[in-house]
């Protein structure tokens, strides 16, 4: 049996949560209280495996509630319920130590799934918030990869860097060929190779890159 403590300052919400949890034989509601102070007391006394708590309580509100409960409940699990938009507070709640963030309008459909995920050591968020967090993670990884690889022009040869510098100065292909004592065809080959290495599609993009990077 997994023991659960419910903290919410609305009697009807607590009753509803107890009813939902009671349908599952391996979950046991060890306590149900209406304030942060009572919640802290019951956590110390009952040592529940999971705390399910609203963010907004009569004696505490917002992220202060999350931080306090996460510190009191550690290393056990905390599932936050809230009317507050998850896109505003969900990631912050997780960063403060919550293991899941569930909007109250999704409780009927998702509570048991969220409880199971959190008890198994996973984090629970909605698909919408999960997608945003994943996209941010991928962007950070890509930025880190680019930083580790160095600037894009690091892949260019010395001759290509010379061509790039002359492009930045506004020189035409013929002028670049004359300045470097190359044929026009050779300069065109260098420009094509540079576009490929830099992932650029046109001569205009190459010139724009030269202007911004050199």
In tens, the pLDDT along 79-118 reads 999 988 888 889 999 999 999 999 999 998 999 999 999 9
- Please tell me the distance from the alpha carbon of residue 106 to that of residue 111, in angstroms, as a whole number: 7
Scan for tokens 């065809």, then name that residue.
185
Residues 32 and 109 in one domain: yes
When pLDDT is averaged across residues 13-22 and rounded to a whole number, the result is: 93
- The CATH number linked to 206 is 1.10.10.10
Which of residues 127, 144, 165 is at a domain's end? 127
Please give the distance of CA 182 from its chain centroid, rounded to a whole number.
51
- Please tell me the distance from the alpha carbon of residue 120 to that of residue 114, in angstroms, as a whole number: 10
Phi-psi region for residue 47, left (φ > 0), alpha (ψ -120 to 50) or beta? left
Domains of the chain: total: 2
| Chain segment 40-79, per-residue pLDDT in tens | 999 999 999 999 999 999 899 889 999 999 999 877 899 9
133 assigned to some structural domain: no
pLDDT on residue 150: 66
30 assigned to some structural domain: yes
| Chain segment 127-181, per-residue pLDDT in tens | 888 888 888 777 777 666 666 656 777 788 889 989 988 998 889 999 999 999 9
pTM: predicted TM-score of the whole model, two decimal places: 0.65
- Please tell me the distance from the alpha carbon of residue 28 to that of residue 180, in angstroms, as a whole number: 80
Please give the distance of CA 111 from its chain centroid, rounded to a whole number.
22
Which of residues 90, 110, 127 is at a domain's end? 127
Whether residue 212 is predicted with pLDDT greater than 90 in this model: the reply is: no
- Determine the structural domain holding residue 180 and report its residue range: 152-213
């Amino acid at each position: 049996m997994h023991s659960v403590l419910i903290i919410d300052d609305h009697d009807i919400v607590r009753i509803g949560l107890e009813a939902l949890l009671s349908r599952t034989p391996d979950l046991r509601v060890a306590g149900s209280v209406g304030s942060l102070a009572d919640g802290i007391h019951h956590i110390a006394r009952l040592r529940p495996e999971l705390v399910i708590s609203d963010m907004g309580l009569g004696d505490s509100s917002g992220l202060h509630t999350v931080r306090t409960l996460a510190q009191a409940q550690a290393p056990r699990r905390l599932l936050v319920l809230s009317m507050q938009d998850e896109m505003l507070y969900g990631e912050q709640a997780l960063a403060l130590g919550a293991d899941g963030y569930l909007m109250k309008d999704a409780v009927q459909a998702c509570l048991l799934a969220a409880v199971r995920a959190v008890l198994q050591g996973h984090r629970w968020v909605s698909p919408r918030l999960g997608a945003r967090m994943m996209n941010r993670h991928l962007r950070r990884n890509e930025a880190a990869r680019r930083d580790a690889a160095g600037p894009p022009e690091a892949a260019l040869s010395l001759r290509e860097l010379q061509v790039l510098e002359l492009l930045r100065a506004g020189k035409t292909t013929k002028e670049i060929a004359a300045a470097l004592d190359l044929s026009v065809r050779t300069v065109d080959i260098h420009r094509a190779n540079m576009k490929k290495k830099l992932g650029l599609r046109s001569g205009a993009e190459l010139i724009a890159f030269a202007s911004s990077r050199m």
